[in-house]
């Protein structure tokens, strides 16, 4: 979810190639392995980080064998490279802030490659803390407007009553914002109430968006983000970019 900005919806509508799906499996497998090592073991009921990672794996139809293998790598039952979690920060063209969540077994190689992507595409990989202050780590649950049968105001009140911190009307969907600690509890409560959830994850949500109204600049930013998202070691890319409706239409053509 690249900053959960409007232009990301274009990407969600594109069919995933087999290669893209394979990369997605690899990244979620890394997330599962790291969750086991850092979140409290291989039991998802006792490890909320692992529980979320497994839910994400199932949402993309990742085979159970892959999930089991990733868990065993985390517990040490299978050999695995030692993965290090790193956050990189920088700027894309137009002054757009970029945060990257990395999982790598070679910090120097990854840093060199990511720096190259930024410099080649008119961006700048910055120092730790240069953009982190613009983002908050939250739980984000997206539900399409068409999947909400009750009155919209009633839905918002319901989400707040079960512990959500905020509910945002994003035209095509409602975004339920939670704390990291209550994220899974609220997600499960909404599912039990019959709501179909489109996306749910713990994300870095920008406090303020930078609106891009130039098609060429927007295209350059998207090119950079596509390259970053395609990198094997990049788990997540977040930005504070949003675009005007006019630019959105031109990008979609």
pLDDT in tens, 167-226: 998 878 899 999 999 999 999 999 999 999 988 999 999 999 999 999 999 999 999 999
Structure tokens at 68: 């089991």
Domain 16-75, CATH class in plain words: mainly alpha
Q: Look at the pTM and tell me if it is higher than 0.75.
A: yes
Is the CATH code 3.30.70.980 the one for domain 84-253?
Answer: yes
Query: Hey, where are the domains in the chain?
Result: 16-75, 84-253
- 134-154 pLDDT, tens digit per residue, is 999 999 999 998 888 888 899
What residue has token string 């006019």? 246
Among the listed residues 239, 251, 247, the one whose alpha carbon sits nearest the alpha carbon of residue 207: 239
Rounded to 5 degrees, what are φ and ψ at 230? -80, -15
For the ranges 85-99, 121-135, 139-153, which has the lowest average pLDDT? 139-153
């Amino acid at each position: 979810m690249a900053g959960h900005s409007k232009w990301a919806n274009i990407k969600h509508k594109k069919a995933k190639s087999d290669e893209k799906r394979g990369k997605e499996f690899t990244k979620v497998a890394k997330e599962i392995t790291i969750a086991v090592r850092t979140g409290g073991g291989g039991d998802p009921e006792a490890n909320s980080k692992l529980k979320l990672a497994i839910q994400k794996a199932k949402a993309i139809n990742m085979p159970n064998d892959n999930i089991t293998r990733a868990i065993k790598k985390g517990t040490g039952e299978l050999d695995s490279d030692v993965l290090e979690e790193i956050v990189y920060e920088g700027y894309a063209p137009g002054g757009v802030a970029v945060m990257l969540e990395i999982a790598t077994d070679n910090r120097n190689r990854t840093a060199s490659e990511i720096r190259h992507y930024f410099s080649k595409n008119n961006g700048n990989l910055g120092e730790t803390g240069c953009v982190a202050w613009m983002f908050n780590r939250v739980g984000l649950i997206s539900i399409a407007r068409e999947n909400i049968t009750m009155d919209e105001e009633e839905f918002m009140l319901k989400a707040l009553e079960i512990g959500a911190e905020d509910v945002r009307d994003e035209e095509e969907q409602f975004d339920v914002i939670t704390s990291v600690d209550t994220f899974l509890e609220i997600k499960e409560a909404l599912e039990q109430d019959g709501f179909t959830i489109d996306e749910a994850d713990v994300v870095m949500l920008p406090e303020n968006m930078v609106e891009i109204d130039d098609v060429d600049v927007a295209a350059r930013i998207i090119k950079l983000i596509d390259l970053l998202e395609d990198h094997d070691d990049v788990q997540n890319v977040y930005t504070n970019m949003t675009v005007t409706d006019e630019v959105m239409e031109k990008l979609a053509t």
